[in-house]
Amino acid sequence: MDAGRHTRQPTKKSPQKERGRNKFATLLQQCLIGLTSGGFLGLIAVGYTLVYGTVGLIHFAHGDVVMLGGCLAVTLLALAGPLPLEPVAGGLLIVTVALCCGLFCGSLNVLIDRVIYRPLRQAPPIAPLVSAVINRLDMRRTTLLGLMITLFSLVIVATLDQTLRNLSVSAFLMGLGMAFRWISCDTWIVLLAKPSSRGRVIGFHESLMGLGIGMGPLTLVYGHSD
């Protein structure tokens, strides 16, 4: 008998089973990503609630502090090398990184409280609120009207994100709206109209106000250059 007849041929996996396994792996990965993102959002929400309940102030920089803690955790894990396969060693490494990040975020929050919030405890309520808004650690910039606000300089720097044509059109529309509002709201100008037309003047003002409110979101969406 031929020896080749007794050797087993490798079984071929069906394409349907492979596609099913890939879909299940993708679903499991998305679920883990959702749980991780939801855990971070829940942690940030708990922090906002605790700060607001104890101090009575919305700590706008809390999310940025958590972000810095996450970046520190990724950096420490990268410096530590590959995660050990042993459960005890891997668990100790994760716990150590978590403790270091917790101490870092706590120290940063204490520093923010000592430097920014504590000197303003007896100030009017608007002062701590403004300081909390300025205390944000991000470096986002706004392109509305070509203005960029930086954190470290705390000055408004004019940029050329929008063309002068858009600026001139916006200034003209704002001036025209202010003129209409002044004319329709001034008492003596309204009294110059006939009694039967005074309601039309007021209605014209209200219609312009509604038109301006409706055009505001459209200006924000379509009024910027890419």
Q: Which amino acid is at 22?
A: N
**pLDDT confidence of residue 124:** 66
Residue 207: band (very low, low, confident or very high) from pLDDT cuts 50, 70, 90: low
Backbone angles phi, psi at 25, to 5 degrees: -65, -40
Q: Return all residues near 121 (Cβ < 8 A) that are at least 6 apart.
A: 128
Is the pLDDT at 27 greater than 80, yes or no? yes
- Asked whether the whole model's pTM tops 0.85, one would answer no
pLDDT digits (tens, 9 = 90+) for 110-144: 887 787 777 766 766 665 666 555 555 444 544 44
pLDDT digits (tens, 9 = 90+) for 36-64: 888 878 877 887 787 777 767 777 777 77
**pLDDT confidence of residue 99:** 92
Angle separating helix axes 15-55 and 62-80, nearest 10 degrees = 130
Count CB neighbours of 53 within 10 A.
8
Report CA dihedral (143, 147, 148, 149) to the nearest 10 degrees: -120
Share of the chain above pLDDT 70, in %: 46
The C-alpha angle with vertex 42 and arms to 40 and 47, in degrees rounded to 5, equals: 95
**pLDDT confidence of residue 86:** 78
pLDDT digits (tens, 9 = 90+) for 61-115: 777 788 888 888 888 888 887 777 777 887 888 889 889 988 998 898 888 778 7
For range 152-156, the mean pLDDT: 39
Token code pair at residue 130: 């403004």
Helix (H, G, I), strand (E, B) or coil at 149: strand
